[in-house]
Amino acid sequence: AQSVTQLDSHVSVSEGTPVLLRCNYSSSYSPSLFWYVQHPNKGLQLLLKYTSAATLVKGINGFEAEFKKSETSFHLTKPSAHMSDAAEYFCVVILSGGYQKVTFGTGTKLQVIP
Amino acid sequence: NAGVTQTPKFQVLKTGQSMTLQCAQDMNHEYMSWYRQDPGMGLRLIHYSVGAGITDQGEVPNGYNVSRSTTEDFPLRLLSAAPSQTSVYFCASRPTGFNQPQHFGDGTRLSIL
């Protein structure tokens, strides 16, 4: 079975400080991992994806994530938060084989304080 | 380039009414899915399809029907609306290949009174 755990339901940072949103997964197989962002009353937008080509993945808007197999983690980071980063972030896992089931984390709401 | 289009954006229904949420994609994706999003629960899979004529149930299928007669369209039907179905519904599509991300529509906000 696979699962995704987003360790924090809410994260609050000050504008200009680093952002760390944590994601751990459990999977018996090599996964594909994704981060999505959802701004209020909007759909989900892809931030970045990991597909085994490189462990450090760069995404849009200055976000990046590092795949650490030994820790089964795929944490999302950004060096300096901007007010426009306030949103909800979802970590997503897809396994190979069969239907390629998509599993979502429960989301982390990021608050950016001016 | 429209991507995934959902209609309507908002809908209010009375308990017991039926309706269809529309989803269309113009990217020729094989996989399509319907999710519902409720506070604190992330996205939960209702139904999915791996191609025209093929559908299957997700985590929370009760009270919903789907069909997939074409690659482009994947409507979601509420048979007899209940207040517990008040939610935001998202349709998503993606190509085959496990490293392919999903593309989402903007959602349908549905309230059942």
Which residues on chain B place their C-beta less than 8 Å from a C-beta of chain A?
4, 31, 33, 35, 40-43, 45, 48, 50, 56, 90, 92, 96-99, 101-107
Closest CB to B104: pick one of A43, A52, A100.
A43
The count of domains in chain A is: 1
Considering only CB atoms, which chain A residues are within 8 Å of B31?
100
Considering only CB atoms, which chain B residues are within 8 Å of A99?
48, 50, 56
Domain region containing A92: 3-113
Q: Pick the closest to residue B92 from A63, A45, A59, A3 (CA basis).
A: A45
- Give the pLDDT confidence of B49-75 residue by residue, as tens digits: 999 999 999 989 999 999 999 999 999
Q: What pLDDT is recorded for position A98?
A: 56
Which of A22-31, A53-62, B84-93 shows the lowest per-residue confidence on average (mean pLDDT)?
A22-31
CATH code at position A23: 2.60.40.10
Confidence of residue A59 (pLDDT cuts 50, 70, 90): very high
The DSSP element (H or E) to which A103 belongs, if any, is strand A102-104
